[in-house]
Amino acid sequence: MLYRVARYRRRVVAENLARAFPEETPARRLEIERRFYAFFCDLLVESVKTLTISPEKLRQRVVLKNMDLFENYFRAGQNLLVVMGHLGNWEWAGGRFAGQSPFELQVIYRPLQNRWFDRLVFRMRARLGMTPVPMRQTLRTLLAHREKKTITTFIADQTPPPETAHWMRFLNQETPVFTGAEKLAVRLGYPVVFAGVRRLRRGFYEVYFEELTTAPTRTSPAEITEKFNRRLERAICEQPEIWLWSHRRWKHRKRENTKP
């Protein structure tokens, strides 16, 4: 029933799945599609719940793995960048982390055109301990907060303008990807950590962390960006129904003369 009610962008979802998993049978892709819509309905309910959920209840529903990864960085006063995708309930993941991490968690976001919804999302994140930072103020904010102990999080699987993007194979197709987090990491010398989310069961998640680089200034161009996207791709393939397939991720096509 949920599948029939919540058929939001069904054509986009079906096309994305067909391009991402060409080796799968139509029946298997349809199964992923149905499971995605069931999850998407749950995610909408959870998003509303985010406005009222208590820190105690959030701790019960979201488990953080290998948090000890951050201890040495905190003791050394080393700020970090965390990159993640639209996987599982990313808002609960951020709120849960903000409630336990000794770092201040800054979340980079693109302001919504609808001001009412933009204020709502801002308030939703702030009440869970996150500090929302508009995308255009990212560099200014990071430079101003270099002496503070901060972790800055990027949801880095959105669609960038094709003329400024790095192009790579992602989910079986040429895909434009953001390089902003990498550029900031190299400029500021901040280590980069991948954050992944697994859905354990309805309403319950596990968040885990993996270092992508501890020395960004010694990486080659696009190395961090490609490491992130390859790791995200593996996470999507492990649990495909919890990625945001309704996003028009492949609305741009690579031109023949476009550089990687």
Rounded Cα–Cα distance for residues 130 and 118 (Å) = 15
Return the pLDDT at 230.
99
Instruction: Decide if 251 is inside a domain.
Output: no
H/E element holding 224?
A: helix 223-238
Query: Into how many domains does the chain fold?
Result: 1
Instruction: Decide if 256 is inside a domain.
Output: no
Instruction: Decide if 232 is inside a domain.
Output: yes
In terms of residue numbers, what domain contains 183?
A: 61-242
Instruction: Decide if 50 is inside a domain.
Output: no
Instruction: Decide if 260 is inside a domain.
Output: no
Return the pLDDT at 9.
86
Return the pLDDT at 257.
54
CATH number of the domain bearing residue 188? 3.40.35
Instruction: Decide if 24 is inside a domain.
Output: no
Q: Which residues contact 72 (CB under 8 A, 6 or more apart)?
A: none
E strand intervals along the chain? 62-64, 80-84, 104-109, 131-134, 150-155, 166-170, 173-177, 192-201, 204-213
Kindly tell me the sign of the dihedral angle through the C-alpha atoms of 15, 18, 19, 21.
Answer: positive
Strand partners, 109: 134
Three-state DSSP at 149 gives coil
Instruction: Decide if 13 is inside a domain.
Output: no
The pLDDT tens digits along the chain (260 residues) read 555 555 678 999 999 999 999 999 999 999 999 999 999 999 999 999 999 999 999 999 999 999 999 999 999 999 999 999 999 999 999 999 999 999 999 999 988 888 888 888 888 899 999 999 999 999 999 999 999 999 999 999 999 988 889 999 999 999 999 999 999 999 999 999 999 999 999 999 999 999 999 999 999 999 999 999 999 999 999 999 999 999 999 998 887 656 66
Instruction: Decide if 1 is inside a domain.
Output: no
One-letter identity of residue 221: P
**Nearest CA among 170, 165, 167 for reference residue 180:** 165
Return the pLDDT at 7.
65
